[in-house]
Amino acid sequence: MSHRHYDTLIIGSGPGGEGAAMKLAKAGRRVAVVEAFDQVGGGCTHWGTIPSKALRQAIQLLADYRRNPLFQRTVRQIHVDYPQLLAAAGSVIRDQVRTKYRYYDRNRVDVIHGRARFVDARTIEVSEAGGRVDRFTADAFVIATGSRPYHPPDIDFSHPRVLDSDSVLRLDHTPGSLTIYGAGVIGCEYASVFCNLDVKVNLVNTRDRLLAFLDDEITDALGYYLRTQGTVIRHQEEYERVEPLDNGVVLHCRSGKKFKTDYLLWANGRAGNSAALGLAALGIGTNSRGQIEVDGSYRTTLPEIYAVGDVAGPPGLASASYDQGRFVGTLISEGESDWKLIEDFPSGIYTSPEISSIGRTERELTDQQVPYEVGRAMFKNIARAQITGHTVGMLKLLFHRESLEILGIHCFGEQASEIVHIGQAIMTQTGGANSLLYFAETTFNYPTMAEAYRVAALNGLNRIF
Ligand SMILES: Cc1cc2nc3c(=O)[nH]c(=O)nc-3n(C[C@H](O)[C@H](O)[C@H](O)COP(=O)(O)OP(=O)(O)OC[C@H]3O[C@@H](n4cnc5c(N)ncnc54)[C@H](O)[C@@H]3O)c2cc1C
């Protein structure tokens, strides 16, 4: 058993751990990252963001090709199955892993492969797959162990017909039909992926709307396009039991409805990876979903132990996890941080069409009695969208009708998650610089999708003057 001491030890090499490690290494601290998997990158790179987005990109390419009149004569010759698309995603994962090892190497961050567990508030034990156990000590720790799909105990996830967002990445053929239980971001994204592969998809939602945190007009559009692509959406359903069979699986709902398909993809909730860390003995609390209790600075009850990313609770985004890691890295190295984490972060949902939004929705502004107005640009009227053939979509700006301050940006359509950042940059300005007028009075490249901001701003101004 070896024993080494570090300034900070980070447990988990996803975006949360990587953000903390890089910040601390740049500050000259002696840092190591402990990773249970045999490659760095976290769930983000191997089972979450990267594979699902690479899959989606491959499928989008296929859908664009099928739709493009230039390729109509060859379209019948193209047969792409799910494993081929997964293989395309695999090459992105390899590139990401290589890049991340290089970052750790260049910044002299030690990577220790093994599963970490606290022995006391200053010591962890790391068990390697081969059985070797080492001890490491540090002055501070960052727990960034991420999350995994939540498994209700009454469902047999060892059955090959019952999948979750991890095991769906190991499916070795294109299924004929699929029921997705849970219509959150992951459920909607996979519904989009599979219906674009001509799989019959049932999307079973436990709520009364899709993605209720988004603007109603955007989720109405998502529902419409998912249906036109062949997805059957059922709202307000709750499972009673899951019956796996040799030739399929039946989802029995409390309402009496039954969905029999080749596979079930369970996409209803995630649980923090905290159980095996030995936290209870240290007095660090977790909730029923395994999420570690932290304060506003991501400190646990022990001041030298921090938790960031999915294991510290919502929002459960790679983007936010990375920033939380960097923020904590700053606190540990400098004792304080002169930058604050934004509370209003953008959401990107990689369905077809893509969705992105930031700020308040119409429902929120109405509830808060804010006098707002709406400016819209339909992609079908934007030259760049006509050129690329991606005419499905809309940019919607919500702004204060007196001050012209932008209050919310909601977009769906090709590149929505990029387009939203233009508005975000203006929306986060202070001292009167957050104004709809910026978009009405600024010259943008033409033709671009950014033009949608000018069109939406003029549309909005026309409503109030
Ligand atoms: C299907 C899917 C799609 C997603 N799409 C997006 C998206 O488009 N955009 C977005 O921003 N977010 C997305 N997310 C969420 C995003 O992946 C997570 O928010 C992000 O990965 C969290 O980062 P993290 O650093 O907290 O943990 P993770 O990335 O989960 O990494 C945690 C790491 O800790 C390791 N670990 C766990 N326990 C131990 C231990 N005891 N010892 C050592 N190592 C340990 C794990 O092996 C893992 O490598 C998606 C998630 C899923 C599941």
**pLDDT tens digits, the chain, 465 residues: what are they?**
566 999 999 999 999 999 999 999 999 999 999 999 999 999 999 999 999 999 999 888 888 888 888 888 887 777 888 999 899 899 999 999 999 999 999 999 999 999 999 999 999 999 998 899 999 999 999 999 999 999 999 999 999 999 999 999 999 999 999 999 999 999 999 999 999 899 999 999 999 999 999 999 999 999 999 999 999 999 999 999 999 999 999 999 999 999 999 999 999 999 999 999 999 999 999 999 999 999 999 999 999 999 999 999 999 999 999 999 999 999 999 988 777 777 788 999 999 899 999 999 999 999 999 999 999 999 999 999 999 999 999 999 999 999 999 999 999 999 999 999 999 999 999 999 999 999 999 999 999 999 999 999 999 999 997
Measure CA 335 to chain center.
Answer: 30
Residue to mutate (ligand 1; options 39, 145, 351; most atoms within 8 A of CB): 145
Residue with CA closest to ligand 1 atom 37: 145
Q: Which of 117, 125, 53 is nearest to 89 (CA)?
A: 53
Confidence (pLDDT) at 2: 60
Residue with CA closest to ligand 1 atom 6: 49
Q: Which of 93, 47, 3 is nearest to 273 (CA)?
A: 47
Q: Which of 325, 350, 328 is nearest to 337 (CA)?
A: 328
Residues written for the chain: 465
Confidence (pLDDT) at 1: 54
- Give distance in angstroms: CA of 165 to centre of ligand 1: 12
Structure tokens at 33: 């990252």
- Give distance in angstroms: CA of 309 to centre of ligand 1: 8
- The atom number, within ligand 1, closest to the CA of 114 reads 43
- Give distance in angstroms: CA of 376 to centre of ligand 1: 35
Residue type at 173 in one-letter notation: H
The DSSP H or E segment spanning 396 is strand 393-400
Residue to mutate (ligand 1; options 44, 284, 306; most atoms within 8 A of CB): 44
Helices 15-26 and 318-334, packing angle to 10 deg? 30
Confidence (pLDDT) at 3: 65
Confidence (pLDDT) at 313: 95
- Give distance in angstroms: CA of 146 to centre of ligand 1: 5
- Give distance in angstroms: CA of 19 to centre of ligand 1: 13
Helix (H, G, I), strand (E, B) or coil at 420: helix
Structure tokens at 403: 């001050």
Residue to mutate (ligand 1; options 317, 319, 349, 417; most atoms within 8 A of CB): 317
Residue to mutate (ligand 1; options 321, 322, 349, 355; most atoms within 8 A of CB): 321
- The atom number, within ligand 1, closest to the CA of 311 reads 26
- Give distance in angstroms: CA of 387 to centre of ligand 1: 37
- Give distance in angstroms: CA of 462 to centre of ligand 1: 45
Confidence (pLDDT) at 69: 83
- Give distance in angstroms: CA of 312 to centre of ligand 1: 12
Q: Which of 140, 57, 64, 142 is nearest to 91 (CA)?
A: 57
- Give distance in angstroms: CA of 85 to centre of ligand 1: 22
- The atom number, within ligand 1, closest to the CA of 12 reads 34
Helix (H, G, I), strand (E, B) or coil at 26: helix
Global pTM? 0.94
Peptide bond into 447 cis (omega under 30): yes
- The atom number, within ligand 1, closest to the CA of 34 reads 43
Residue with CA closest to ligand 1 atom 48: 42
Confidence (pLDDT) at 73: 80
Pocket of ligand 1 (CB under 6 A): 11-17, 34-37, 42-44, 48-49, 52-53, 115-116, 144-147, 165, 186, 273, 276-277, 309-311, 316-319, 321, 348, 350
Query: Rounded to whole angstroms, how far apart are CA atoms 368 and 362?
Result: 10
Helices 416-427 and 451-464, packing angle to 10 deg? 60
